[in-house]
Amino acid sequence: MEPTETEVTSTGAGVASPSVTLQVSERGERSAEVHALLLHGYPDDRRMWDPVLARLPEDWHVVTPDNRGAGGSARPAGSAAYVLEELVEDVVAVLEATVPDGRPVHLVGHDWGSVIGWEVVAAATWNPRLAGRLASFTSVSGPSLDHVHTRLQTWAGRRALLPQLLHSWYVYLFCVPRLPELLWARLQGVVRRLLERRDPTLALLDRGPGLLANALPGLGLYRANLRRTPARWRTSVPVQLVVARDDFFVRPESLVGLEARCRDLTRVEVATGHWVPRSEPERLAALVTDFARRHTAG
């Protein structure tokens, strides 16, 4: 079945930005038994999921939105528009507009899509609009920022996370005014070649003006969310943690100890780099399919 295009308006959380219009793709009928919502990362857009989408069951209803700042969605100015509270409200708006009331959805996120997914899981512990709406969550190469910042509050946690902190040098670079924009615009090819030596899956990332159009607004993700006070929460939503052993950007050390927050956690390791949906689409589709089938009512 060919995907259909939908525009969804998100009024946001009222933190910093007005309402935004999100471009959303849907494959399958809204009356389907199984619903899945796939969130992409940085600097991707929803097209990143195409290789995985082609391998998911055809009788599923699968929703793939462009996050704000990417693809066909609005690109609000200013980093404050990209705080996680706003992004969670975007997901809620997409969920309410595309998945019938009361039907649970299997949430899947990669990179920043996974970071957002963790925030949605956390919000489901207190937000009535998300009560009962998450059937499962599959996290791919994206940590829970609450979990990371909680561990950073102790010396033992800092020592354990040192490999991740060393690999996160680019995060701090992205927070420098104007310099990252210059590097993306003028030296994209040079930077890519250097990083591809560290993580060959980066070579699978799209090139050209579309990538730049996603990358520049998306810098707000880093600038708005680097510092935070971690929230305390614990979830009963079944979580599948896909750990890419050769991921240069999100090290396995950042994903240790999530059992403290997840009552039902399944950890799966794959021998690839950061862009798992591009390098191992068949494997990832199988993991998502099997996990969803284990956690679908009836």
Model pLDDT for residues 13-45, shown as the tens digit of each residue: 676 667 899 999 999 999 999 999 999 999 999
Q: What is the mean pLDDT of each run of 10 residues along the chain (298 residues)?
A: 87 75 96 97 96 97 97 93 95 96 94 98 95 96 95 93 90 90 81 84 85 92 90 96 96 94 97 96 98 85
- pLDDT number for residue 297: 67
Q: Which two tokens stand for residue 237?
A: 């939503």
- pLDDT number for residue 296: 84
- pLDDT number for residue 208: 76
DSSP 236: -
Model pLDDT for residues 53-92, shown as the tens digit of each residue: 999 999 999 999 999 999 999 999 989 999 999 999 999 9
CATH topology of domain 4-150+224-294: Rossmann fold (3.40.50)
